[in-house]
Amino acid sequence: MLRFYEEDAIFINDNGEPRRGRLEIARELDCFFKFGLPIKITTRNVYVDGNLASLILGWSIAGIANNGEKICMRGTSNDYAKRGTDGYWRYWFENPFGVQVRSLF
């Protein structure tokens, strides 16, 4: 999964805290993949202007995890990607809980 991110990409975790770089993003992604379940993704909106893109994606992880625990996680992400000189799109900002209302206090 990490090849889908820019080297210095930012990932906003479920606490609303930014994590920067592939090493920190790998730690955050482990929270999603540790269950051994697939992620279902639904594209809601994609807006492209030149080499920049804004993505709104619905996602869910549901089922019985590899430890026997019942899992049901879902969210709507607010993400940004850019096309590299190699022509590939990579995330430079991912916020998997992007439309979640967070307390300001």
Q: What are phi and psi of 39, to 5 degrees?
A: -105, 125
User: Measured between alpha carbons, how far is 102 from 85 in angstroms, rounded to an integer?
Assistant: 36
**pLDDT tens-digit profile of 14-66?**
888 999 999 999 999 998 999 999 999 999 999 999 999 999 999 999 999 99
User: Measured between alpha carbons, how far is 1 from 72 in angstroms, rounded to an integer?
Assistant: 21
pLDDT reported for residue 104: 53
3-state secondary structure 31-73: HHHCCCCCCEEEEEEEEEECCEEEEEEEEEEEEECCCCCEEEE
**pLDDT tens-digit profile of 94-104?**
999 986 655 55
pTM tops 0.75, yes or no? yes
The end-to-end CA distance of the chain, in Å, is: 34
